Amino acid sequence: MSQEERKVILASSLGTVFEWYDFYLYGSLAAVIGAKFFSMYDESTRNIFALLAFAAGFLVRPFGALVFGRLGDLVGRKYTFLVTIVIMGASTFVVGILPTSDQIGILAPIILIVLRMLQGLALGGEYGGAATYVAEHAPNGRRGFYTSFIQITATAGLFLSLIVILTTRSFLGEAAFADWGWRVPFLISIVLLGISVWIRMQMQESPAFQKMKDEGTGSKAPIGEAFGQWKNARIALFALLGLVMGQAVVWYTGQFYALFFLGSVLKVDGFTTNMLIAWSLILGSGGFVFFGWLSDKIGRKPIILGGCLIAAVTYFPLFSLMSAEANPSLTQAHRTITTVVEVDKATCSFQFNPTGTARFTQPCDVAKAALARLSVNYSVENKPGQTGVRVTIGNQTVSSDQPNFAAALGTAVTAAGYPAASNPTVVKMSGPFDIFREQPAVLIGILTLLVIYVTMVYGPIAAALVELFPTRIRYTSMSLPYHIGNGWFGGLMPATAFAMIAQTGDVYFGLWYPVVIALATVVIGFFMVPETKDRDIFATNADGSASAADFRKAR
């Protein structure tokens, strides 16, 4: 690897780390920000803001992919992802100086949502630009290895945001942090922005784009050509369904759903949960580079689809083992305490609530949601025409006509033998290095294996997407399926999984979401997605395919 290639990877990766740092700050500090900007408004207004914030985080990203993908294919890779980082960094910094609702009223949350949407748009354009830029600098036969460094950036950005938040909290104390200290991590982003812009200003345009520009073969309408012509649109569709869709759910399961499952289902305290996940990321993140390198040797498809298949086959036993190790008393209660919900099923809703704005108030919904949050396994017995709900938990019975129904359920669950969240069998770490006892060691091993699955599917994905599309529409074509897959299929996983758990009464049932999608990707990818590792991405064929000479040259 030459010095210039190292500089390209550093500039792209470092900038993308900072982009993810900015994006994660909002999610990590959502509760604090909500108290400063939203809490004083009525429920309807808060719901609107929550919906907009959700849209900015997930739904807006594909639109950013279109806007900046088009710009990147028309103007160039370097200047486009220079623009995206300026938008992201500036938006984040302004959050740090934005007056609260107490100071400027409803204007404060409106400005905050606008800034959040700008962040989502910028992130939608950043990844495609960074991946394309690095890939177009990489020599044939090494694109998987070179682009794998981009894949580490989401994890690194999460780490950086958590470190800055924890350090600021520890230094200032909780009271000062809640009052004004929460602004510090946002303000620090201006320093990160300056570093990123300075580094990227030193870079040259990618060789593939410059070659296309010199030859005058660029597209005049990248969006129309990429998605308005079936020969190109079908490739984007197969990339989404046969690669990115499965990659997204494996990525979210290994890093975010595991976090949710430990904390919300198994009732592990926040410090221990974060430490277990942090150790697994430290131990497993080298897999991004390893599998990127390996994909240059054996191909992108075998590794990505293999990761999806292995994950789908092993999720249920791994999460069962995680439960038995993290909270043995709760696992024992699942096996020995029978819980039955007697209700007319026609009165029950599917509690899918990704924005947090829906309200499920029917007795059936109240019972199911309460039991799911209490991590109780239950079955539902249909009683057509019955009014209200009757819940039997072991030898305890609760009816919906009792006062404080949800609270009564909680009391009955404990009385029936379900352990309290603080029961002595729950794993608890006393410090960051308390990892040499059986419980934390086994859990770190399980979580590290989940992270390795993440690195299998995510390490080679950038190279695979870049190689599927011709230079003239590459930025646009690869960005949209990537952000639809990760922003929608992956981003909706926690809300979907909870709704599935509440619907069925099985704490493991939410795993069917990633399992089914990952298996669908294996089938679609195997039959519909070509192997691309030997493609010469400098080829200017209109359909982006490589000729026989290109394949010989690549080998």
Angle among Cα 485, 131, 216 to the nearest 5 degrees reads 110
Q: How far is CA 477 from the centre of its chain?
A: 21
CB proximity list for 269: less than 8 A, separation 6 or greater? 263, 426, 428
Provide the pLDDT for residue 55: 65
pLDDT at position 302 = 96
**Domains of the chain, each with CATH number or no CATH:** 1-207 (1.20.1250.20), 332-416 (3.40.30)
Three-class SS state of 140: coil
Render 166-193 in DSSP notation, one character per residue.
HHHHHHH-HHHIIIIITHHHHHHHHHHH
For 193-219, give one letter per residue: b (16+ CB within 10 A) or e. beebeebbeebebbebbeebeeeeebb
Contact by Cβ (8 Å): 473, 341? no
List Cβ neighbours of 476 (8 Å cut-off, separation of 6 or more): 65, 66, 69, 70, 72, 73, 128, 222, 223, 226
Q: Which amino acid is at 459?
A: G
Whole-number Å distance between alpha carbons of 218 and 483: 24
Residue with tokens 């300056």: 194
CA dist 328 and 442 (Å) reads 13
Strands 396-399 and 390-393: antiparallel
| pLDDT score for 54 | 64
Question: Residue 550's pLDDT is what?
Answer: 36
Q: What is the pLDDT of residue 549?
A: 38
Residue 59, Cα to own-chain centre: how many angstroms? 13
What does the CA dihedral 83, 86, 89, 94 come to, rounded to 10 degrees?
Answer: -120
Q: Give the pLDDT score at 543.
A: 44
Reference 246, options 304, 314, 287, 319; nearest CA is 304
Tokens of 45: 């207004």
Pairing of strands 339-343, 379-382: parallel
Q: Is the CB of residue 453 less than 8 Å from the CB of residue 254?
A: yes
Question: Which residues does the chain have with pLDDT short of 50?
Answer: 540-555
Residue 317 burial by Cβ neighbours in a 10 Å radius (0-12, 13-18, 19+): exposed
Q: What does the pLDDT read at residue 270?
A: 80
Mind listing the pLDDT tens digit for each residue in 214-232? 888 778 888 888 888 888 8
Question: Cα–Cα distance between 235 and 226 in angstroms, integer?
Answer: 9
The pLDDT of residue 11:
79
Q: Which H helix or E strand runs over 380?
A: strand 379-382
